[in-house]
Amino acid sequence: MKLRKLKQMEKYLISILIAYIIIVSVVSKNFLSVNTLFDLLKTSSGTLILAAGVLMVLISGGIDVSFTAIAVVSGYSSILLMMKLGVDNIFFALIVAAIIGLLLGIINALIIYFFKLSTFITTLGTSSVFYGFMTTFIGTSSISVADKPQSLFNFGKATLFGLPLFFIMAVVILVITWFILYRTTLGRSIFAIGNSEESALRAGINILKTKLFVYSYMGLLSGIMGIVYFSEIDLINPISLVGTELMVIAAVVIGGIRLTGGEGTILGAILGVSIIQIFRSTLVFLGLSTSWNDLFIGIILLVSVSLISYQERKSNKEHLIFSK
């Protein structure tokens, strides 16, 4: 299989990563260590899992901001069910959370399709509904370290071939997502509706089935991420993840994904997540406070979006495509 050439945005992000790693390595000799790399891989795994779903949604021309609420509802509900049934099994938790996430994703897709609503407004609304349902009927009590199921602790510490199991899972999910998007008819349909839903409909693409897959896939990954996230932390606080969705979307957008849909790459999403994660984890090595994190990420996001917009206008001009 012939490897494709790197896109300009990908080259730009790789250059930033290399330059930043060199700077941190020079300032702090403790940065380039196995433990630091291990921690970076582990802490970035959950974001990578979500980024795979966000990438697919953005390529389809939508924006989903409900995935952190889905992750919390799915993960927390499955853990409570484990404790109530006395089933201390990580596979049980993952399966239940994935099913709940998938069903909530289907709800998003059906509302978006049948009511013809904006994806952003719809998922903003369902985010409140999903989380509000949990707080009203399930509760939001924290689960202490003493009460947390042992299988979650074991899952959080598990490794495979010397690598964090979380990271292996993220890589497998990214490979599956790549295969769906670039090696299947379904993937071509997702790109098609992202470029023009009307043209895709005229070409015979089933819009409902495509959107059902996109948002149910996002929901399924969110459910899995909920268990991954709660396995990482000692105290399970069901409100700690809500509000981080914009950072995940920003990471994917930094990777060169077009917000209007129809364009995006797995490598770009990985690079975007890597930049955000490495900034968040290594500022301490430079002696800077965490407040610098938002500044750096904001600058890179603005530059990335500006470059994407410039390249798109340049391409349109070369192909004699003019918009109002």
Contact between 269 and 251 under an 8 Å Cβ cutoff? The reply is yes
Helix (H, G, I), strand (E, B) or coil at 159: strand
Contact between 179 and 70 under an 8 Å Cβ cutoff? The reply is no
* Confidence label for 258 from pLDDT (cuts 50, 70 and 90): confident
**Percent of the chain at pLDDT exceeding 90:** 61
Contact between 297 and 315 under an 8 Å Cβ cutoff? The reply is no
Separation CA 164–CA 49 (nearest Å): 14
Contact between 127 and 244 under an 8 Å Cβ cutoff? The reply is no
| Residue 318: per-residue pLDDT | 64
Q: Which residue, 106, 133, 111, is CA-closest to 122?
A: 111
244 to 67, 69, 284: CA distances (angstroms):
10, 10, 21
Q: Which residue, 305, 274, 309, is CA-closest to 15?
A: 274
List the beta strands (DSSP E) in 132-270.
159-160, 163-164
| Residue 294: per-residue pLDDT | 76
**pLDDT tens column, 158-177:** 998 888 999 999 999 999 99
- Paired with 159 in beta bridges are 164
Q: Is the pLDDT of residue 320 over 60?
A: no
Rounded average pLDDT over 127-137: 95
List the structure tokens of 74: 């799915």
**pLDDT tens column, 69-122:** 999 999 999 999 999 999 999 999 999 999 999 999 999 999 999 999 999 999
Q: Is the pLDDT of residue 12 over 70?
A: yes
Separation CA 138–CA 67 (nearest Å): 18
| Residue 150: per-residue pLDDT | 95
CATH class, domain 8-318, is mainly alpha
* Weakest-pLDDT range from 125-139, 163-177, 211-225, 273-287: 273-287
* Weakest-pLDDT range from 59-73, 88-102, 254-268, 308-322: 308-322
**pLDDT tens column, 28-46:** 777 777 787 888 888 899 9
Question: 150-157 and 90-115 are packed helices; what angle lies between their axes, rounded to 10 degrees?
Answer: 80
Strands 163-164 and 159-160: antiparallel
* Confidence label for 324 from pLDDT (cuts 50, 70 and 90): very low
Return mean pLDDT, the chain: 89
Q: Is the pLDDT of residue 182 over 90?
A: yes
- DSSP string over 14-73: HHHHHHHHHHHHHH-TTSSSHHHHHHHHHHHHHHHHHHHHHHHHHHTT-----HHHHHHH
